[in-house]
Amino acid sequence: MTEPLILESVLDLKAAAALKTALLERRGQPLSVDASGVQRLGALCLQILMAARHTWADDTNPLAITPRSDAFNESVRLFGANAHLADVMLEGAA
């Protein structure tokens, strides 16, 4: 995989455009997303990450969100998105 995409600590509405751009720049190659520093995850950025999961799967490229902060994991859980990201959120990474 290439260098990991390191997520900002606050993924809110203001961070959404930059997140989308950063992901699109890496399209077509395996990607590791480092969410270890995430303190807040908003719905729009979560939606962008979920769309990226589908895009990478459609392109048959691996995508992994690891490592992850407890705050990231909890936000995904509270949004009810665990099942949607289960295949990219590797076990044991937090």
The span from the CA of 43 to the CA of 31, in Å, is 21
In a domain, 15, yes or no: yes
* Domain range for 46: 5-85
Q: Please tell me the predicted confidence (pLDDT) of residue 92.
A: 45
Total number of domains in the chain: 1
Contact 68, 93 (CB under 8 A): yes
Domain assignment present for 25 = yes
Residue 93 domain-assigned (yes or no): no
Rounded CA-CA distance 76/81 in Å is 5
For the stretch 36-49, pLDDT in tens is 999 999 999 999 99
Please report whether residue 68 resides in a domain.
yes
Q: Rounded CA gap, 76 and 82, in Å?
A: 6
**Among residues 16, 4, 17, which one has the least CA distance to residue 40?**
16
pLDDT band (50, 70, 90) for residue 90: confident
Position 39 in a domain? yes
Which residues, listed in sequence order, are joined to residue 93 by a DSSP beta bridge?
none
Residue 90 falls within a domain, yes or no?
A: no
What is the spatial distance between Cα 67 and Cα 90, in angstroms, rounded to a whole number?
8
- The mean pLDDT value of the chain amounts to 94
CATH number at residue 54: 3.30.750.24
